[in-house]
Structure 1
Amino acid sequence: MAEIFLSDDLTDSDRFEELESIREKLIAAGADVNPIEGKNLGQSVANVFVPKNFAPLWNDKVSENDVIQVTKQSSIFIGLLMDFQSPSEIEDCNKITKSFCEAMLEGDKAGRGNVVCRVLYDMFKMAFPVKSKAIYLIYCTWLQCASKKNSTYLLELEGSKVERFVEKLVKDWEISDVEIRSLRREYQACLHRLGRYQNAASAMEDLLNSYSDADITGAEAISDAKLCILQSILTEGEYRFDHLREIDAIQALKGTPIYDLLEVFITGDLEGFEKFMEGSDLSEIVLDQEKLDTLQRKMRLLTLVGLCKANPDTTYKAIQDKLDLDEDGVEDLAVRAFQLKLLRGRLDQGNERLSTTYSIQREFTRAQWEDLADKLTVWQNNLENVRLSIEEVQNVELAA
């Protein structure tokens, strides 16, 4: 969609007339909006653009076309106000934009997400003054509203472009660190809600790494770090978690139940998980039955990985005893591990064995890194020897 450029030729009289038109449409939808009085345009707009005045629009009885018409007209009107230049006028417009965005959030919660995302998408394409925070407010609100059901109007979600957007916010709008983290938090939540789990995990790590050493023990950092751990261990298809230890904000959680739970998923087994769940204070970890079932399924798979890592030729009996499964349960679990690429190998049903040639490395310690470095050095030396041998053969052929 082309960028929308708004006219700066309108007089205050024109704006008052447009505001009155919006007020009348809100009243027609069922809102109780006070009459517009006085000559202070900013205050008059602030009195109309409050969430309660837009609330009747979210009623199912109001047609989607009417909702689009009023919200679209209101969003463009905000743009018409943004040709103000003084700091106080721009700040007043920022407050009006924020109030309108809060109304859009209420609309999303009421089931009008598709309309809201469309309006916010179009607003994001408008040309606002450099010093206005309108784009920041609109983008954060859109991130909160976007979902799989209403993601037709998708704004930019590519990580590198979002980083450039953040850089521009810092440079042009003097956005604070707290506001930037708020944007990063909404961006991460949006990706997770849209099912882009790998991107969401990267965005969460970017958020946690944005905290300074002085901030990692603050309430915001603690909350984000806890959420990072929970999202990671609950995400289907994710079975490697040792890299989370390297994040300072997560290290700051050492000694807490949520950090202990992370350690169970890095190094523990099903028995250790069940003992942890029985003996720990989990008041800070909100886990419903569905989440508990997910964690238990993952721990069964990780326990199987551990057994196969210790013994690549594992008997059904050993798996049955460890996981309290019957023969069919063992085979179903092994097939699932193969599908998830946690293991490679085959089921030797005749001998009731699980023969594996590969299992994921759940924890990559310093010793493993050193072993990998040694192997790479050997491969490099071997390649160098091959290169020298080829050169010798070529020299002999040339001499002949």
Structure 2
Amino acid sequence: MQVPAVFMDLPLEDQAQELRVYFKSLGAEISEEKSPRGIEDDLHKIIGVCDACFKEGNETEIETILNDIVSIMVLIPIERAENLILAFCEKLTKAPGQKLGVVCLKALWLLFQSLDEKSPMRYHVYYHLVQISRNVDQVKAVYGGVDQLKAQFAPCPPSNEQMQKLYRLLHEVLLSCKQSEQAAAVMVALLGTYTAESASAPREDAQRCILAALADPNTFLLDPLLALKPVRFLEGELIHDLLLVFVQEKLPAYLQFYKNHKEFVEHILGLNHEQNIKKMRLLTFMQLAETNPEMSFDTIQSELQIEENEVESFIIDVLKTKLVRARMDQAGHKVLVSSTMHRTFGRAQWTQLRDLLAAWKTNLSAVQEGMKTVAAAQIELAAKTK
């Protein structure tokens, strides 16, 4: 096994030569001599063969070598290092296997953190980081949410087209890693990048966004999608009609839609009909709970079209989602609802919230006045006892 030398205190040219010697010892097609054209040409040739170390040595050795390359690369002026950075990223995204992938993820993360926060190359490094994270199922290590992503690039925001490309990749990666909720948030962010003038163009993105939200068994608040400009351009199409069913209708409306458009639902969209029914039952129950603080088992059985022996298990499933807070009265064969998440949040819900806040304010004022009265009485009593 080759043991790489530690030469970080050497001049850049000598460091590059040591790397040349190391890769030559691994059988890579590279000269041991320095390039007469300077450090950038040296590094270009080194990066061209850096994947030779993937076949030799352990992960610690490989990580050391890759970090050595990063340490040289970040000292080259960024305007002359762009092609080197891109070539290095491409090499590392092709590393085979889980262990090597993790090593390459660490090396690229070091490069990302070492670049000036105003460098436009940080975007390209991060894009490749996301690609590697998919290969090693480590997306959580590089992505912490849309807000964090935006803050990360705030000093040097990528172009709109670059962000759209990154959002599409993140959506794909998050779905493959079973991070469906995060994937949905990314897709909403993607659609939010389109202006009124360009909103008619991203039909595929809008359709993908709707489909991902409908297919995700943990996504129930679908109303915000209707406000997105690209989604609005789909009005009148079947996929938009289906979204409206999930946003505001009950189970019978979905069953009728499915009866009329079975081919569209199952084969064109690829949705699971039984999964759709399960979600629509939960959404229907939420809608009933908004206006019925007390529901009998018979009502639930009828509205949700389930068998009598399925009612209790269904209610337990509802409570697990935490969309509804309720108590099951098994002896009385009923459910007592204390609160529920609204499927839609329009004018009526804002009015209700305003009324609740007004009542809360009034109650606080009453408590405050009561406390003043008690305090005054205590002061008066203390004065009399002196």
TM-score by length of 2: 0.74
Provide the C-alpha distance between the structure 2 equivalents of 1:129 and 1:391, rounded to a whole number of angstroms: 59
Query: Paired residue for 1:84, among 51, 60, 76?
Result: 76
Relative to structure 1, the CA distance from residue 50 to residue 244 in structure 2 (aligned partners, 3 Å threshold; closer, same or farther) is farther
Provide the C-alpha distance between the structure 1 equivalents of 2:124 and 2:216, rounded to a whole number of angstroms: 29
Matches for 1:280-295 after TM superposition, within 5 Å: 280=261, 282=264, 287-288=269-270, 291-295=272-276
Matches for 1:142-161 after TM superposition, within 5 Å: 142-146=129-133, 150-151=137-138, 154-155=141-142, 157=144, 161=148
Provide the C-alpha distance between the structure 2 equivalents of 1:39 and 1:201, rounded to a whole number of angstroms: 52
Aligned counterpart, 2:358: 377
Aligned counterpart, 2:161: 178
Query: Paired residue for 1:137, among 118, 124, 140?
Result: 124
1:8, 1:80 within 8 Å by CA — same for their partners in 2? no
Aligned counterpart, 2:195: 212
Provide the C-alpha distance between the structure 2 equivalents of 1:101 and 1:271, rounded to a whole number of angstroms: 52
Question: What's the RMSD between the two structures over aligned residues?
Answer: 4.2
Query: Paired residue for 1:335, among 305, 313, 316?
Result: 316
2:174, 2:183 within 8 Å by CA — same for their partners in 1? yes
Whether 1:302 and 2:287 are equivalent positions in the alignment is: no
Q: Give the superposition deviation at 1:76.
A: 3.5
Provide the C-alpha distance between the structure 2 equivalents of 1:277 and 1:23, rounded to a whole number of angstroms: 64
Provide the C-alpha distance between the structure 1 equivalents of 2:251 and 2:284, rounded to a whole number of angstroms: 6
Query: Paired residue for 2:12, among 10, 13, 28?
Result: 10
Q: Give the superposition deviation at 1:373.
A: 0.7
Query: Paired residue for 2:235, among 250, 254, 275?
Result: 254
Matches for 1:1-400 after TM superposition, within 5 Å: 9-11=11-13, 15=16, 18-19=19-20, 21-22=22-23, 25=26, 27=28, 49=47, 54=51, 62=55, 65=57, 69=61, 73-74=65-66, 76-77=68-69, 79-85=71-77, 87=79, 89-90=80-81, 94-107=82-95, 112-126=97-111, 127-128=114-115, 133-146=120-133, 150-151=137-138, 154-155=141-142, 157=144, 161-170=148-157, 175-187=158-170, 198-219=181-202, 222-280=203-261, 282=264, 287-288=269-270, 291-309=272-290, 311-349=292-330, 352-395=333-376, 398=379
Q: What is the number of residues matched between the two proteins?
A: 370
Q: Give the superposition deviation at 1:360.
A: 3.3
2:66, 2:107 within 8 Å by CA — same for their partners in 1? no
Relative to structure 1, the CA distance from residue 272 to residue 104 in structure 2 (aligned partners, 3 Å threshold; closer, same or farther) is farther
Q: Give the superposition deviation at 1:366.
A: 0.3
The 10-residue stretch of structure 1 (376-385 or 69-78) with the greater mean CA deviation from structure 2: 69-78
Relative to structure 1, the CA distance from residue 74 to residue 342 in structure 2 (aligned partners, 3 Å threshold; closer, same or farther) is closer
Provide the C-alpha distance between the structure 2 equivalents of 1:312 and 1:385, rounded to a whole number of angstroms: 28
The letter for the 2-side match of 1:18 is L
Relative to structure 1, the CA distance from residue 243 to residue 50 in structure 2 (aligned partners, 3 Å threshold; closer, same or farther) is same
Relative to structure 1, the CA distance from residue 265 to residue 24 in structure 2 (aligned partners, 3 Å threshold; closer, same or farther) is farther
Provide the C-alpha distance between the structure 1 equivalents of 2:204 and 2:338, rounded to a whole number of angstroms: 40
Provide the C-alpha distance between the structure 2 equivalents of 1:156 and 1:113, rounded to a whole number of angstroms: 19
Q: Give the superposition deviation at 1:395.
A: 3.8
What SS does the corresponding residue of 2:94 show, helix, strand or coil?
Answer: helix
Aligned counterpart, 1:30: none
The letter for the 1-side match of 2:132 is C
Relative to structure 1, the CA distance from residue 392 to residue 311 in structure 2 (aligned partners, 3 Å threshold; closer, same or farther) is closer
TM-score by length of 1: 0.72
Relative to structure 1, the CA distance from residue 373 to residue 143 in structure 2 (aligned partners, 3 Å threshold; closer, same or farther) is same
Question: More relative contact order in 1 or in 2 (CA 8 Å, sep 6+)?
Answer: 1
1:305, 1:342 within 8 Å by CA — same for their partners in 2? yes
Give the gaps of 5 or more residues in structure 1: 28-32
The letter for the 2-side match of 1:386 is V
Give the gaps of 5 or more residues in structure 2: 1-6, 382-386
Q: Give the superposition deviation at 1:194.
A: 5.0
2:139, 2:177 within 8 Å by CA — same for their partners in 1? no
Relative to structure 1, the CA distance from residue 40 to residue 135 in structure 2 (aligned partners, 3 Å threshold; closer, same or farther) is same
Relative to structure 1, the CA distance from residue 199 to residue 385 in structure 2 (aligned partners, 3 Å threshold; closer, same or farther) is same
Q: Give the superposition deviation at 1:245.
A: 2.7
2:282, 2:318 within 8 Å by CA — same for their partners in 1? yes
Provide the C-alpha distance between the structure 1 equivalents of 2:124 and 2:21, rounded to a whole number of angstroms: 25
Relative to structure 1, the CA distance from residue 382 to residue 166 in structure 2 (aligned partners, 3 Å threshold; closer, same or farther) is same
Relative to structure 1, the CA distance from residue 395 to residue 346 in structure 2 (aligned partners, 3 Å threshold; closer, same or farther) is closer
1:261, 1:276 within 8 Å by CA — same for their partners in 2? yes
Alpha-carbon deviations, 1:143-199, whole Å to 9, x = none? 2222596539934636555333211233xxxx4232234344445555555555555
Q: Give the superposition deviation at 1:377.
A: 1.4
The letter for the 1-side match of 2:279 is K
2:294, 2:335 within 8 Å by CA — same for their partners in 1? yes
